[in-house]
Each structure stands twice: as C-alpha cells, then as structure tokens.
Structure 1
C-alpha cells in the first residue's frame, strides 16, 4: 500500500474546497495506480473524485455538513464511535495527543487527535505494513460507517470500503454489528438528530471500550502533509 492512497482518502474526507476540486486529476491518477484495491472499488473512488471535481462547491459543502457534521452516527471522530461522551474518551484524547507529541507533532487548540483525516495523513507517512496494521485496529468503525453511508446511497461509502480493504485483517462481524446497533437517524429528521446528540454515552460491555485498541495510539504521525494540491485536513470546530 503506498502512502499516496491514504493521503488521497484523507483529502476525500475533508471539507470540500476549491483546492480539493483542483487536485482531482492528481487524485485520480493515484487511485488508478493503487493495485491493492479491486477494480470496482477503484471505480467507486474515481466516481467520488469526479463528483467532487465537477459538482457545485456549495452543494458539495452542504452535503458534507449534512452527513458528517450533523449526523452523530457518521462522525469523523474515531472515539465518538467507541467512547461517546464518556470520561474514557477524554482520557483517550489525552493519551493520543501525548503520543503525537512524542513524535514531534503538536496540535493546535482547535485540532482533535481522533479526526479521521488526521489519522489517515499519519498513515500516509508510515511504512506499508505498519499503516495496514493500524488500519486493522479501526476497520470495524470504517465498516460500520460504510454500511450507514450505503443506506444513504452516498458516494462517500467508497472511502470507507477502501479503508477496510487496505487493513491488514477483516473486522470481526460482532464488532461491526455492535456499532450498527447505535441510533442512526435520518439527517433530515431534526428532532431525531437532536435526540441522538442527547443520548447517553455509548458502551459495549466489558472489554469493548477499547474498540480502537491500544495499537491505534501506539505510533502516530511524525509529520503532516496534505494531499497534493490540497489544504491540510480541516481543523475540527471547537
């Protein structure tokens, strides 16, 4: 697995910008050259890139916000899916940021360490096997996100299918099922969305709280480089 594909997947999961649109040809060439992805999956990624390149920027941004900012079950923050708002999430954030700093990476006050595009940018700097092993620790989260996006017939499904395909091992079905049991309201149902954000923190029983597993935060990003021609990953809102 080349670092380039993780850099492209990171870019595809960031807020659409003119720079992302302009980088479409380079992203397309990298996806086309990625032999570790099956042809149908590469075609789905290429369709998303084509969509981002040609779509109206305002419409693309509105779609992104509707999916990833407004819908808790599609959150782009890893620990949201395994810790919710529990105290464990706060400690996981501290541990992850401390590990970033041991590798010389100091986040700004507005950056959250479990932001998926940030994690993928890190993977793009790591050796192939290490990146694949780390993806395996979060593959169940990516598989669940892919299922939720498939339900919405969203082209973003392809990004998460690709992440699962690039992982060193297939996620356990029971881990994916546990995540899919969480509420997944229609993003157009404002009352349901409000209720979802007011839910109690999610838990999965004994031993399940470390769904991202310790390996996820064992070795994190030594450098941060945006995809070619793109801006760095969008800083999460505080």
Structure 2
C-alpha cells in the first residue's frame, strides 16, 4: 500500500501577508488607496514578525505620500522601467517564445484550481495575481509557484533595493512566507537563476487592471 504524503497547510499568517502584499503591489487607484488604512489596521493587529513588520513599514511610508504622487511613483517604477518588472517569468525568460510556455503553465495551474482570469486582466504571472492565488485560492500550489520563481522574487527585491524603493519591503515580506532564507547577495541569487532576462521580444503585452479582495483569516 502506498501512502500519500499530506501537504502541510500554509499558515494563516503567511496567507494574510501574501494577500496584503497583493494589494500593496497593485496600481494605487482610488479603490486601492481607500483600502490602505484598513490594511494598516489589519497588519497592526497581527503578532510581530519579519513579514508583518516589513509590510507595516511599507504601509506607513506609502500612506504618508499624496495619492497623486503615489500613482506617479508607481508608474515610474513599475510601468516605465522593466528593471522592476512585476511579471515573474519575465525575469527568467524575458519577452521570448519560451515565456509563452511559462505563461501557459500559470494558466493551467489556475484552471486546475478553478481560478479563471478574465480576458481583460493582467498576464497570469503578474505578481499580485500570483499572490492572490497563493493566499486564497490554493495556498499549497501557490506556494510552489512562488518557490519555483523564487529567483525572480529575489532579483526583483534587489532591484527595488537598488532604487531605494519601499516596495522592496513588500517583496521581502512575501519571501518570508517561503522556505529558507533570502539570499544575502546578488551572487547567491545568480546561483538560483541567470541574473538578466533574454532580450528576444515577441510582443507580449499586459492588459487591464487586477482586482483583489480581502479574505477573512482566523
């Protein structure tokens, strides 16, 4: 008789960090900005920890900025600079034909969990979408996706550190929900994956906004 190994449940604290991080990484439109005080209150109610503390530091810094300035900074950082791409497979595959296979894998994984993206939503490897999936849809499989793209997360984290962006705190918080310590240097990250993406372009474009809803955790 073969016994199936039971997968360990993802702690509620980790799922909450992922979901709040998903909100934080979305474009700060009026809806997202209106939820920021709620996110601060939620994180302040949680026990102290590296992920919780990093998110709270980010939220305090982010909410102190004028809403129009928040939007400008977000666009400058993420939309106008591919060096801070929020698309996980971009870091490993660039805009290449190989990336199409990676995106198909994300879609297949979502579909197997009953998580269907609207046609006008972002590409399936968009980090806020992956975090929503890993927080509320299928935390175990979502954890595996994030771990498979751990190198992408860490390269993004270092890029944000280089730019002096508080968003580095958000990515660092996400990494605390995964096994093992984050690399302490870029050299360690390079052992996980190539440090720069290929340059071949095939015209992959992102479209539309992503909407994230807060789930209750107990």
Once residues 34 and 201 of structure 1 are traced to their aligned partners in structure 2, the CA distance between those partners, rounded to angstroms, is 44
SS in 2 for 1:124: helix
Which of 192, 196, 200 is the matching residue for 1:182? 196
Length-normalised TM-score, structure 2: 0.73
The match for 1:84 among 75, 79, 94 is 94
Which structure 1 residue ranges, 5 or more long, are not aligned?
184-198, 203-223, 229-238
Query: CA 1:149–1:92 in 2, change beyond 3 Å: closer, same or farther?
Result: same
1:226 deviation in Å?
A: 1.5
TM-aligned CA distance change 1:126 to 1:145, over 3 Å: same
TM-score (norm 1): 0.68
In structure 1, how many angstroms separate the alpha carbons of the residues matched to 2:179 and 2:168?
19
Partner of 1:14: 26
Change (3 A) 1:102 1:136: closer
1:135 has 2:146 as partner? yes
Which of the residues 159, 164, 173 maps onto 1:162?
173
Structure 2 residue ranges without an equivalent (≥5): 1-10, 202-210
Give the equivalent residue in structure 2 for 1:200: 199
For the Cα contact (< 8 Å) 1:150–1:157, is it kept in 2? yes
| Matched residue count | 190
Cα offsets for 1:82-102 (capped at 9, x unmatched): 111221111221232133223
* 2:158 partner SS: helix
The answer as to 2:200 corresponding to 1:226 is no
**How far apart are residue 170 of structure 1 and its match?**
3.4
Equivalences for 1:83-162 in 2 at 5 Å? 83-111=93-121, 112-125=123-136, 131-162=142-173
Q: In 2, Cα distance between the equivalents of 1:109 and 1:90?
A: 16
